[in-house]
Amino acid sequence: MDQASELPYDERPANRNLSHMRGDYGWPFVGKTWDIFRDPHTLFDEHYEKYGPISRISITGSKCVLLLHPDYAQRVLLDREKNFSTKMGWQTVMADFFQGGLVMRDYDEHRVHRGIMQSSFKPPAMRAYATKIQAIVGKTVQRWAAQDRISFYDEVKRLLLDIAFEVFCWVDDSESQVPKISRAFTDMMEGALGVVRIDAPGFLYHRGLEGRRYLKRFFMELIDKKRASDDEDVFAHFCKEKTEDGEYYSHEDIADHMVFLMLAAHDTTTSAATMAAYYLCNDRPLQSALADEVQHWPRDLDFETIFHSMNGLIGVFYETVRMHPPVPLLLRRTIRDCEIGGIRVPADTMICVPGTYIHRLKKWWRDPATFDPTRFSEEVSEHRKHNFMWIPFGGGAHKCIGMHFARMLFLLTFRELLEKYQIEFAQEGYFPAKLQHFPFTRPLDNLPLRLVAR
């Protein structure tokens, strides 16, 4: 037994020997990183056609096992064996940016820290959020309509960051700080994908780390004030939460959770809203049908409408995150040797489950490249053929804690938009536009739109 194998799993180096598997690493050092940035679907389709649902690949500096089947996604994401570490899956890519967040914690530690956050997404809290969100969305959409054109991605990002501050982290002067905070989040996510990982001026990676450091300082400097306040936002709740020993959680833990939560609360949903608008602008009849539907909704949406009933807007949301999931790749790392699909996977091996491709497998989806929200209707329910053929929010213990919040944000925003306005591309012949796929999908020009009163 070598010395490394005796170390705890989170201190061992990654296994890089996958020569017994079929596959193609690509170019030295960068592997197929450029291919995945340029066109992930084509890359994964080529691997599927050449090597089947299991193959080896090299992306973002890691040699990993590529799993392209819902059965394998279920095995890894449910992780009944406790053998697929989320923490180590994201270690190489995100450790410097999300250290201390839920995605960087495993098993019992993850369960405890998820419990701290869980109460913030229970029905009583969500009802209070809905009231605040509707007021902010109403004012913002009115402002958008007064302009000749808007950059939809930038405007939605600002809207959702405003909402995140109102709901999760109320501070008196947040208005003046939002632009810098928004820029820091953008830098952080882009820096996490930097291939040259040098923390020095001039490098994307350094700019991302500077964004992360700024955000962490911002939250840490507010903790004592929040702890002494009567505020009832999520940040205040975190600051006042105590461990089983009756001690407050550390400033580090609280700030780490807030950076992760605020990012998840606005950046991922910004992408979904932008891509939904992109498809809706290309389908006027669908827009009109949705407008007719939402005009019959009560102003105060009940939870049956928001979470449990199926309607046209929810179908649009589900179809958008099918085609462009908020997290395109779900990463894990094995703790012990195992076997997947009859192929040996050594301990400490990186695993990649690309939901972005599983969501378009021709065997499971009808016309998978076509935007068709009706596939999620009660009559069709195409996504129910397999529990893990639609995994935009992951699965198992690490399933996205804020998925219902994201759905609520989407529903309230587009109800306000479509009820009063038709959204149109700002220029003729815009569709199809060139898209950026990582870290979140969006048109390269951030989707210029105009709102026309109905």
- How confident is the model over 341-351, as pLDDT tens digits? 999 999 999 99
Longest dimension (CA), the chain: 72
Rounded to whole angstroms, the Cα distance separating 322 from 449 reads 23
What pLDDT, in 10s, does the model give residues 412-436?
999 999 999 999 999 999 999 999 9
Pull the structure tokens for residue 266.
């606005």
Take residue 54 and report the two structure tokens written for it: 């299991």
What sign does the CA torsion over 147, 181, 160, 128 have? negative
CB neighbours of residue 171 within 10 Å: 16
Q: Is the pLDDT of residue 264 over 80?
A: no
Provide the pLDDT for residue 328: 93
**One-letter amino acid of 133:** I
Kindly indicate the confidence band of residue 168, based on its pLDDT and cuts at 50, 70 and 90: confident
Coil/strand/helix, residue 422:
strand
Average pLDDT, the chain: 90
| Dihedral sign (CA 86, 87, 90, 91) | negative
Q: According to the model, what pLDDT value does residue 284 have?
A: 95
Give me the mean pLDDT over the 180-199 stretch: 81
Task: Grade residue 352 by pLDDT with cuts at 50, 70 and 90.
Answer: very high
Share of the chain above pLDDT 70, in %: 96
pLDDT bucket at 303, cuts 50 / 70 / 90: low
In the block, which residue shows the tokens 């193609």? 24
Q: Name, in order, each residue with C-beta under 8 angstroms of 123's C-beta and a sequence gap of 6 or more.
A: 303
Range of the domain at 272: 4-453
What is the average pLDDT across 159-179? 77
pLDDT of residue 5: 67
- Of 72-76, 162-166, 373-377, where does mean pLDDT reach its minimum? 162-166
The answer to whether 329 and 356 are in contact (CB under 8 A) is: yes
- Assess whether pLDDT exceeds 60 at residue 3: no
CATH of the domain at 245: 1.10.630.10
Lowest mean pLDDT among 143-147, 221-225, 258-262, 390-394: 258-262
Chain centroid, CA 314 distance in Å: 17
175 pLDDT tier (thresholds 50, 70, 90): low
Number of domains in the chain: 1
pLDDT at 9: 96
For the stretch 290-308, what's the b/e string if a residue is b when 16 or more beta carbons lie within 10 angstroms of its beta carbon? bbeebeeeeeebeeebbee
- Residue 293's φ and ψ, nearest 5 degrees, are -70, -50
The CA distance from 69 to 385, in Å, is 13
Convert the pLDDT of each residue in 271-300 to its tens digit.
999 999 999 999 999 999 999 999 988 877
Is a pLDDT exceeding 50 seen at residue 1?
no
Query: What is the token pair recorded at 300?
Result: 């105060």
**Is 174's pLDDT higher than 70?**
no
CA distance 145 to 157: 17
Strand duo 448-453 + 421-425: pairing? antiparallel
pLDDT at 86 over 90: yes
- Give pLDDT, residue 57: 97
Cβ-contact 263, 189 below 8 angstroms: yes
3-class secondary structure, 331: strand
pLDDT the model gives residue 190: 80
| Alpha-carbon radius of gyration of the chain | 22
Shortest CA distance to 63 belongs to which of 355, 356, 349?
349
